[in-house]
Structure 1
């Protein structure tokens, strides 16, 4: 049995049932804290549902937001919880064909060709940064499942994620796993997940990634419709209010304030609130600036200070 398929069989029959992409009813009951959660044999029951091809393409995202109560597998207790400072080193493995198209622990569907992962305790769905310590490769994954439950393994990667980290042929690798924050329930094209990995390539700080991905993926509250429309319009003339440099967006108002202060020598710097996927965002912008040439000059100065995704916008309310 290869490393990625090391799942535990039921002790009640010769059939195999799985936790992870093959979450079974008894484990779902245990995680939900319903009756029967005290059972020590979570492998009794039936395998998780498999997506019916007749329904068309499997949906991406969805499911429910879930942490769950403590549960026991093979005499080992696991304690799911919100752990914003989670950062651990251990063994990463992967899972694929035997679990493909099965329902995950939070009700999503496992697609081995997407950048997802399973974790024993992390809240679902979450974003985590995983670094292969043997070759330096790294990726942001959507954690939407439970597992692995073998020895010192700390995360089970999808086939696609294992390919990107360059260890699928070996079955496992030494890795570092760091929690980033909650992933959106609705991500029908995994566009937000792709935006997160773009932020990783841009070396965006982890505490700013979700806010930046929200902007890149177009996730705003209803009160942002005028902002989106203004940004989609042609550049305004000086007579309509000038130009602004959209510097960055932050979930932490303290980070926004520090950025504002660091750019104060460039002129007027403002912090404008917005609604992101998981709460308020604080957009830092420089301006107003009189004309497009002045705005371009200011943009170069802002980017030179490390804000490489800064852009010129026409005036907005």
Structure 2
């Protein structure tokens, strides 16, 4: 495969030449917003939901970048086309750009906008998983940053919270489970958590420090359509360890069953399997049915 092309500030450039300034605020301070997306069959899945979350993040950051939703979509489509990719990982980043080297942001913004892509297997009913097996999860000491300190709904370039959580993991663990300051379950370092008890689906409430995941929302919609009772609430780690089933959600993993949490075997099950099948059907219908 030829060298990938990235989209940097309006131009397609080879990956080896894709650079941003060391004075960019995204590099200096993590002062930027991003979205991780999936392209299925050349279509950005759940683009409107991702765009809305990106807009909310920028509102939290008081980042008025001036790029329209249509412009951002066009940059992603151009990047996919330039790389001849129809099934891909896509990352869209917007920072406040280069400003004088002080913490206080300036009102005038010349944003840095980057689209990064790489191939990912086809999704839908004929798709392949991008992970090797169920996830091994460990609860870590690092706590999720409270919403009052850094808005949980903001998907920013500053991922130190998740990085520190991942550094605590055993070598064979796949994901860190973070709790809030009161010890209640929040989310994974890069994922939302769902678990099943007596056939009913549970997931930590967005009233806590939980990122409103796009895949999480889709799963809750699919559960409602399948007449599966759902609960968004406050849970202790022990509630998850004794669950009948558990799985993680994010854009890349989609629905990933949990093999164990803190050494307690859990695994998938009928609810996880049904929701994964319904998710694949939705991807198929929205992204591949007209191809």
Report the TM-score, using the length of structure 1 for normalisation.
0.25
Structure exhibiting the larger radius of gyration computed from Cα positions: 1
Q: Quick one: higher RCO (CA 8 Å, sep 6+), 1 or 2?
A: 2
